[in-house]
Chain A
Amino acid sequence: MTTDPEIESALVELRVAAPPDLLPRVMADVGLADRYARFDSPIGPLIVAWNGLGVSAVEASTDDSTFEASHLARTRRAAWAAEQVPDRLARSIARRLDGDRRVRIELDLRGHTDFEQNVWAKALEIPRGEVRPYGWIAAEIGHPRAVRAVGTALGHNPVPLIVPCHRVVRTDGSIGQYSLGGPVNKRIILAAEGLDPDALEATGRSGVRYVGSDSTHIVCLPTCHAARRIGAAHRVPFRSLPHAVSAGYRPCRSCRPGSGAIAA
């Protein structure tokens, strides 16, 4: 006959240690820590970090300890390596990089200023295959004079590629700086999105800032999807918006070339 004390001591032996992954999973789920893993992109391997609130970092891949130290310094949260980016998130990021803007990717942008978040939210509105000048963002968020601050905020974008700061260029059409590995990577990404960076810069150098159609009398920024459909016979280049307006053209409602016109 087995006695209760024997059974009781057998039951005590059924206590086990939690799996080592439980602590990081819980801490990341509640947003007190992050997980990270590597992710392939057109510009090589990246590190993606995330937690229960959303994606918190996209960076060029470095070794684990370098990333963990810089992430802790920037976010004050520990980052724990995970086997891989969770399937659903990986699929969403891949679809977004392919230009599908319907896919929703949650972002964890805690600790950043309202100004920075407004800049990034505005950059999210720029369609794949198009670019906008820094001054356009500044004007659209209601701070037309803050062009330099817009550039700084884009440089601090913790989630490049997902927030497409690569689609913001100088007013003269030159490609400008890029936080994720410099201008070379910015050109690669823009080219992968269907833009020709050399042609963009050549247009800028020639002094052309706007393109109109003499059949619709609508004037656009040069990379606007509407401007790119204008046939060569109807294409009218402009150096400034006032020139276009005085010639009887109205600004496109899609790319809103009036924003940033003050800086032009």
Chain B
Amino acid sequence: MMETDDSLVSALARDLDGTFEALVVAHQDRLYSIALRMLGDRSDAEEAAQDALVRAYRALAGYDGPRIEALRLRPWLATIVLNLCRSRLVRQGTRGQRPLSLEVALPATAEPRSEDSRRPEAVVAARDAAGEWARLLMTLPLAYRSAVVLRHVDGLSYPELAAALDRPEGTVKAQVHRGLAMLRNALELTAAHDREEVIA
């Protein structure tokens, strides 16, 4: 990916209009995934990803060749989509910043299951696993959700993550670790709730 991006920025610097489609093809899945995991809604995510790519084009159109060549596309594009997601969440009120809550973390229904399948990871595996993790991610406060999504959904390196979030590497590492710990807690709360249902 890094090598692809290096040749992509050189091509963008030479011929923005002729190369931009290649940028969209190379980055649209990750920008959409980031937006979807930040916003939790497919149509909001599509709009945010579209908006991010359009803004990227307009920014590139205003940059000279050397400035484009110096860009690190992965963190740069991540920053653009992340900022759009944050402002959407702020516009939508507190939706993105609600505290960790059982109501949000829990699926609507939970089937009773046998003793040995009641470990937390088994609970998740037994349901729509991806949907469950996506739901848990949405319970994280924004700063931690951003860090976890960019590091573990998008796969940015810590130096890229530090650049994308404009924070020191130590700070973003701590945010990722804290975010993962919150996810683990949320998962165990879900599992504990399931055990109570079985006992009752």
Contacts and interface: CB of A to CB of B under 8 A. Distances in A.
Interface string B49-61: 1100110011000
B129 A10 contact: yes
Contacts of B57: 26, 30, 32
B73 interface: no
B1 interface: no
Interface string B76-92: 00000000000000000
B21 interface: yes
Interface residues of B, number: 39
Interface in A1-25: 1-2, 4, 6-8, 10-19, 21-23, 25
A30 B58 contact: yes
B120 interface: yes
B54 A23 contact: no
A18 B24 CA distance: 10
Contacts of A32: 17, 20-21, 57
Contacts of A33: 21
Interface string A97-127: 0000000000000000000000000000000
Nearest to A22: B28
B121 to A, nearest CB: 5
Contact of B21 (A12, A13, A15, A23): A23
Contacts of A21: 46
B158 interface: no
Given A7-B180, A7-B183, A26-B53, 12 more contacts: A2-B184, A2-B187, A4-B184, A11-B148, A14-B137, A19-B32, A22-B49, A23-B25, A25-B50, A26-B24, A33-B21, A52-B54
Interface of B: 17, 20-21, 24-25, 28-33, 36-37, 42, 46, 49-50, 53-54, 57-58, 120-121, 124, 129-130, 133-134, 137, 148, 152-155, 180, 183-184, 187-188
24 contacts: A1-B184, A2-B120, A2-B121, A2-B184, A2-B187, A2-B188, A7-B152, A8-B180, A10-B129, A12-B152, A13-B133, A14-B33, A14-B134, A15-B30, A15-B33, A16-B32, A19-B46, A22-B32, A22-B53, A23-B24, A26-B53, A27-B24, A30-B57, A32-B17
